[in-house]
Amino acid sequence: MSTPDRRRPAPLGWTRPSGPLSEAPRVSVAIPLYNEADVLPNLISRLRAVLDDLPGGPHEMVFVDDRSSDGTLQALERAAAEDPRITVVSLSRNFGHQAALSASLDHVTGDVTVLMDGDLQDPPEAIPSFVERYREGYDVVYARRLRRKESVWLRLSYFVFYRLLARMSALPLPVDAGDFSLISRRVVDVLRAAPERHRYLRGLRTWAGYRQIGIDVERSARAAGESKYSLPKLLRLAFDGLFSFTIVPLRAAGVIGAGVVVLSGAYAMYVLYARLVLSQVPEGFTTLILAITFLSGVILFFLGVIGEYVGRIYEEVKSRPVYIVDRVIREERRGP
Ligand code: UDP
Ligand code: MG
């Protein structure tokens, strides 16, 4: 199975008519899944109920199996055999949430696409209100998380991270907004054409521009199973967001360096004065050790920061595909 070329230019020909749309759009729902067999039956039945009542269509559901080991793929295959609206994309190995989500975007065919998690933390029942705002003329409708049902320290980390990133980035990144959103066909095209390997899709979505709006959606607790984001995976996502959308950490080294030069200049003058005028010889072994270890720490820290950017440049240059498809299961008559 070939993987689409991410370096192709954005197809810029498609423009949506301005103002409200009279026609109901065809909705694609894109969902990455990793070991979600416990949630899947519930997810599919709630989704089908929502799509059945949605005007327009035929709508579709695109599930990407991120190489689950708990029978998620088999359950998806059975569901796809029953419902022609279901497309299943299975990946060659576990590529991670953002890569799986990118894979789903490469397989949607609708006028609009709803990105959501497969653990029912994002309620499918919010989709009609997304579509409503789309028809009013918005290209991106994202969910603002009203309340989270996660542990205190995780909530605090999210709170701090989103605000920190929003301050540092030149983009108006919305705080407390995840991937749960509806995006129009042309925003899908922009995301598909973005060549980067370290994908922070909620940031890229903002970067795409057009008219965007957030609506409040309550974020439920996970329906079943455990979070598939281990701490390292979560940190990686946070770093991807940080290093892809701001270079403030690089600049910080310059600012701190300039500050240290000024301070040490002032201190040098004082030492000169003490020696020549007051005839004092400054002592201070402890101070010396502290200054050396502190500044070495600062230097190593910023070497690490530079290393993060360099490592990312290296990975971008390698240009490996973001994900590899094993197979695609979809009803044939709809074509590719
Ligand atoms: N997921 C995935 N690949 C992974 C990890 C997660 O496709 O390697 C999917 C997972 O099945 C779910 C979504 O990404 O549909 C969000 O993951 P999760 O709910 O575990 O993250 P959290 O809500 O805890 O941040
Ligand atoms: Mg979740």
pLDDT in tens, 169-187: 888 888 878 899 999 999 9
pLDDT at 281 over 90: no
Domain boundaries, the chain: 27-227+320-334, 248-318
Look at ligand 1, atom 24, and give the residue with the nearest C-alpha.
Answer: 227
Neighbours of ion ligand 2 (CB under 5 A): 117, 119, 121
C-alpha 248 to ligand 1 mean position (Å): 29
Nearest atom (ligand 1) to Cα of 178: 25
C-alpha 275 to ligand 2 mean position (Å): 64
pLDDT at 19 over 70: no
pLDDT in tens, 43-98: 999 999 999 998 887 899 999 999 999 999 999 999 998 889 999 999 999 999 99
Question: What is the rounded CA–CA span in Å between residue 217 and residue 234?
Answer: 22
Looking at residue 15, its pLDDT comes to: 65
Residue 203: which residues within 8 A CB-CB, separation 6 or more? Answer: 169, 171, 173, 241, 244, 245
**Percent of the chain residues topping a pLDDT of 90:** 43
C-alpha 97 to ligand 1 mean position (Å): 6
- How high does pLDDT run on average in the chain? 86
Q: Is 264 in the pocket of ligand 1 (CB under 6 A)?
A: no
Question: What is the rounded CA–CA span in Å between residue 245 and residue 211?
Answer: 20
Contact 325, 64 (CB under 8 A): no
C-alpha 242 to ligand 2 mean position (Å): 21
pLDDT in tens, 121-157: 889 999 999 999 998 889 999 998 877 667 778 788 8
Contact 37, 73 (CB under 8 A): no
pLDDT in tens, 202-238: 888 999 888 899 998 887 777 777 777 777 888 888 8
pLDDT at 10 over 70: no
Looking at residue 12, its pLDDT comes to: 52
C-alpha 228 to ligand 1 mean position (Å): 5
pLDDT at 42 over 70: yes
Between 2 and 189, whose confidence is greater?
Answer: 189
User: For residue 21, what are the CA distances in angstroms to 16, 58, 81, 148?
Assistant: 9, 18, 33, 33
Looking at residue 2, its pLDDT comes to: 46
Residue owning tokens 């299961």: 329
Looking at residue 124, its pLDDT comes to: 93
- Which ligand neighbours the alpha carbon of 229 most closely? 1
Residue 180: which residues within 8 A CB-CB, separation 6 or more? Answer: 115, 116, 117, 122, 126, 142, 143, 217
C-alpha 227 to ligand 1 mean position (Å): 7
Six token digits for residue 301? 């820290």
Question: What is the rounded CA–CA span in Å between residue 61 and residue 44?
Answer: 9
pLDDT at 1 over 70: no
Six token digits for residue 235? 């940190």
Nearest atom (ligand 1) to Cα of 117: 15
Q: Is 96 in the pocket of ligand 1 (CB under 6 A)?
A: yes
Looking at residue 17, its pLDDT comes to: 62
Six token digits for residue 266? 């002032």
**Percent of the chain residues topping a pLDDT of 70:** 91
C-alpha 27 to ligand 2 mean position (Å): 22
| Alpha helices per DSSP H over the chain | 40-53, 72-82, 97-105, 127-135, 152-168, 185-193, 201-208, 231-245, 248-276, 285-318
For a substitution probing ligand 1, which of 97, 115, 120, 200 has the most ligand atoms within 8 Å of its CB? 97
Residue owning tokens 């540092």: 168
- Which ligand neighbours the alpha carbon of 103 most closely? 1
Q: Which of 181, 180, 184, 174 is nearest to 138 (CA)?
A: 184
Q: Which fold has domain 27-227+320-334?
A: Spore Coat Polysaccharide Biosynthesis Protein SpsA; Chain A (3.90.550)
Q: Is 121 in the pocket of ligand 1 (CB under 6 A)?
A: yes
Q: Is 219 in the pocket of ligand 1 (CB under 6 A)?
A: no
Look at ligand 1, atom 2, and give the residue with the nearest C-alpha.
Answer: 97
Looking at residue 22, its pLDDT comes to: 67
CB atoms within 10 A of CB 273: 11
Q: Is 101 in the pocket of ligand 1 (CB under 6 A)?
A: no
Between 222 and 113, whose confidence is greater?
Answer: 113
Question: What is the rounded CA–CA span in Å between residue 114 and residue 101?
Answer: 11
Q: Is 48 in the pocket of ligand 1 (CB under 6 A)?
A: no
Exposure class string for 32-58: b at 16+ Cβ within 10 A, else e: bbbbbbbbbeebbeebbebbeebebee
Between 200 and 283, whose confidence is greater?
Answer: 200
pLDDT in tens, 91-103: 999 999 999 999 9
Between 22 and 34, whose confidence is greater?
Answer: 34
C-alpha 31 to ligand 1 mean position (Å): 10
Residue owning tokens 């028809």: 135
Question: What is the rounded CA–CA span in Å between residue 183 and residue 180?
Answer: 10
Q: Which pTM was predicted?
A: 0.78
Looking at residue 195, its pLDDT comes to: 82
Q: Is 89 in the pocket of ligand 1 (CB under 6 A)?
A: no
Q: Is 91 in the pocket of ligand 1 (CB under 6 A)?
A: no
12 Cα distance to chain centroid: 23
